Protein backbone atom coordinates (compact mmCIF):
# COMPACT_ATOMS: atom_id res chain seq x y z
CA UNK A 1 0.00 0.00 0.00
CA UNK A 2 2.86 2.33 -0.72
CA UNK A 3 1.23 3.93 -3.76
CA UNK A 4 -0.36 7.24 -2.73
CA UNK A 5 -3.75 6.36 -4.25
CA UNK A 6 -3.84 3.12 -2.24
CA UNK A 7 -3.04 4.69 1.14
CA UNK A 8 -5.93 3.94 3.49
CA UNK A 9 -6.60 5.18 7.00
CA UNK A 10 -9.44 4.36 9.37
CA UNK A 11 -10.00 6.12 12.69
CA UNK A 12 -11.78 4.44 15.58
CA UNK A 13 -13.28 5.74 18.80
CA UNK A 14 -13.76 3.44 21.76
CA UNK A 15 -15.72 4.26 24.90
CA UNK A 16 -16.54 1.25 27.09
CA UNK A 17 -18.94 -0.47 27.37
CA UNK A 18 -19.93 0.19 23.74
CA UNK A 19 -18.17 -1.38 20.78
CA UNK A 20 -15.60 0.78 18.95
CA UNK A 21 -17.01 3.03 16.23
CA UNK A 22 -15.50 4.05 12.92
CA UNK A 23 -15.11 7.82 13.01
CA UNK A 24 -13.20 8.47 9.78
CA UNK A 25 -12.18 6.65 6.61
CA UNK A 26 -10.00 8.08 3.90
CA UNK A 27 -7.78 7.15 0.98
CA UNK A 28 -4.85 9.00 -0.53
CA UNK A 29 -4.44 12.57 0.69
CA UNK A 30 -7.40 12.25 3.09
CA UNK A 31 -5.79 9.16 4.63
CA UNK A 32 -2.56 11.07 5.19
CA UNK A 33 -4.56 13.90 6.78
CA UNK A 34 -6.34 11.48 9.14
CA UNK A 35 -2.97 10.06 10.24
CA UNK A 36 -1.43 13.54 10.61
CA UNK A 37 -4.32 14.81 12.73
CA UNK A 38 -4.24 11.71 14.90
CA UNK A 39 -0.47 11.92 15.37
CA UNK A 40 -0.62 15.63 16.19
CA UNK A 41 -3.33 14.90 18.76
CA UNK A 42 -1.30 12.16 20.43
CA UNK A 43 -3.46 9.34 19.13
CA UNK A 44 -1.46 6.11 18.79
CA UNK A 45 -1.22 4.88 15.21
CA UNK A 46 -1.29 1.18 14.33
CA UNK A 47 -0.57 -0.17 10.85
CA UNK A 48 -2.74 -3.10 9.84
CA UNK A 49 -3.67 -2.87 6.14
CA UNK A 50 -5.99 -5.89 6.12
CA UNK A 51 -7.95 -4.65 9.12
CA UNK A 52 -8.11 -1.15 7.63
CA UNK A 53 -9.68 -2.56 4.45
CA UNK A 54 -12.27 -4.49 6.48
CA UNK A 55 -13.06 -1.45 8.65
CA UNK A 56 -13.29 0.86 5.64
CA UNK A 57 -16.55 -0.87 4.73
CA UNK A 58 -18.19 0.20 8.01
CA UNK A 59 -20.30 3.35 7.85
CA UNK A 60 -19.05 6.41 9.73
CA UNK A 61 -20.34 6.56 13.35
CA UNK A 62 -21.33 2.88 13.23
CA UNK A 63 -20.03 0.26 15.64
CA UNK A 64 -17.63 -2.25 14.18
CA UNK A 65 -19.21 -5.58 13.26
CA UNK A 66 -18.90 -8.45 15.70
CA UNK A 67 -16.69 -10.45 13.34
CA UNK A 68 -13.99 -7.74 13.70
CA UNK A 69 -14.08 -7.56 17.53
CA UNK A 70 -11.06 -9.83 18.05
CA UNK A 71 -8.84 -8.03 15.52
CA UNK A 72 -9.76 -4.60 16.87
CA UNK A 73 -9.33 -5.81 20.47
CA UNK A 74 -5.78 -6.89 19.63
CA UNK A 75 -5.02 -3.43 18.22
CA UNK A 76 -6.57 -1.71 21.25
CA UNK A 77 -4.59 -3.93 23.64
CA UNK A 78 -1.38 -3.09 21.75
CA UNK A 79 -2.15 0.64 21.94
CA UNK A 80 -2.92 0.42 25.65
CA UNK A 81 0.36 -1.43 26.29
CA UNK A 82 2.36 1.11 24.28
CA UNK A 83 0.73 4.00 26.10
CA UNK A 84 1.43 2.38 29.48
CA UNK A 85 -2.25 2.07 30.36
CA UNK A 86 -2.22 -1.75 30.18
CA UNK A 87 0.64 -3.77 31.59
Q: How confident is the prediction along the chain (87 residues), in pLDDT tens digits per residue?
A: 445 557 999 999 999 899 999 999 999 999 999 999 999 998 888 999 999 999 999 999 999 999 999 999 999 898 888 877 765
**Count of the separate structural domains present in the chain:** 1
Using DSSP's 3-state secondary structure scheme, residue 8 falls into strand
Q: What is the pLDDT of residue 81?
A: 85
User: What is the rounded CA–CA span in Å between residue 73 and residue 67?
Assistant: 11
Can you give the residue range of the structural domain that contains 24?
Answer: 4-83
CATH number reported for the structural domain that contains residue 39 in this entry = 3.40.1690.10
- Smallest CA-to-CA distance from 11 within 49, 21, 54 is with 21
Amino acid sequence: MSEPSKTLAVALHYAAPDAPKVTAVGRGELARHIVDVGSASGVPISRNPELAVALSNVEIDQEIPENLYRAVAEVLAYILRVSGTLK
